[in-house]
Amino acid sequence: MNSKYEILIVGGGAAGFFTAINIAEKNPKLKIAILERGKTVLEKVRISGGGRCNVTHAEFIPKELAKNYPRGEKELLGPFHQFCSGDTIEWFANRGVELKIEDDGRMFPVSDSSQTIIDCFLNEVKRLKIDVLTSQSVQSIYQGNDYWKVETNHETFSCQKLIMTTGSNPKIWEMLEKLGHKIVSPVPSLFTFNIKDNRIKDLMGISAFAKVKVKGSKLEASGPLLITHWGMSGPGILRLSAWGANFLAEKKYQFTIQVNWLHETSFEDALEQLKELKQEHSKKIVSKKSPFDFPNRLWESITIASGIPLDVKWADISKKQLTALANQLTNAEFQVNGKSTFKEEFVTAGGIDLKEINFKTMESKLFPNLYFAGEIVNIDAITGGFNFQNAWTSGFVLANSLG
Ligand X SMILES: Cc1cc2nc3c(=O)[nH]c(=O)nc-3n(C[C@H](O)[C@H](O)[C@H](O)COP(=O)(O)OP(=O)(O)OC[C@H]3O[C@@H](n4cnc5c(N)ncnc54)[C@H](O)[C@@H]3O)c2cc1C
Bridge partners for 378 per DSSP: none
Closest by Cα among 41, 52, 37 to 385: 52
Report the C-alpha gap between 148 and 3 in whole angstroms.
12
Per CB under 6 A, the list member of 7, 8, 11, 200 interacting with ligand X is: 11
**Counting contacts by CB under 6 A, is residue 165 touching ligand X?**
yes
Over the window 292 to 331, marking each residue x when it contacts ligand X by CB under 6 A and - when it does not, the resulting string is ----------------------------------------
**Counting contacts by CB under 6 A, is residue 346 touching ligand X?**
yes
| Closer by beta carbon to ligand X, 142 or else 309 | 142
Smallest distance from ligand X to CB 116, Å: 13
Report the C-alpha gap between 337 and 400 in whole angstroms.
46
Contacts for 64 with CB less than 8 Å, ≥ 6 apart: none
Per CB under 6 A, the list member of 7, 8, 9, 14 interacting with ligand X is: 14
Q: What is the DSSP string of 70-84?
A: TBTHHHHHHHHHHS-
| Closer by beta carbon to ligand X, 210 or else 382 | 382
Per CB under 6 A, contacts with ligand X among 192-231 are: none
Stretch that binds ligand X, among 9-17, 72-80, 318-326, 328-336 (CB under 6 A): 9-17
Per CB under 6 A, contacts with ligand X among 25-84 are: 35-38, 43-44, 47-49, 53-54
Closest by Cα among 214, 188, 204, 197 to 383: 188
Smallest distance from ligand X to CB 293, Å: 29
**Counting contacts by CB under 6 A, is residue 271 touching ligand X?**
no
Q: What is the dihedral of CA 17, 345, 64, 167, to 10 degrees?
A: -40
Closest by Cα among 263, 309, 269 to 286: 309
Smallest distance from ligand X to CB 232, Å: 20
| Closer by beta carbon to ligand X, 48 or else 393 | 48
Q: What is the DSSP string of 307-342?
A: T--TT-BGGG--HHHHHHHHHHHH-EEEEEE-EEE-
**Counting contacts by CB under 6 A, is residue 138 touching ligand X?**
yes
| Closer by beta carbon to ligand X, 172 or else 226 | 172
Q: Tell me the H-state helices in 83-160.
A: 85-93, 114-127
- The pair phi, psi for residue 361, each rounded to 5°, is -130, -15
Per CB under 6 A, the list member of 157, 387, 392, 396 interacting with ligand X is: 387
Q: Indicate the residue type of 287.
A: S
Stretch that binds ligand X, among 213-221, 233-241, 331-339, 372-380 (CB under 6 A): 372-380
Bridge partners for 1 per DSSP: none
**Counting contacts by CB under 6 A, is residue 166 touching ligand X?**
yes
Report the C-alpha gap between 393 and 179 in whole angstroms.
26
Interface residue list for ligand X (CB under 6 A): 10-16, 35-38, 43-44, 47-49, 53-54, 137-138, 165-167, 169, 171-172, 344-347, 374-376, 385-388, 391
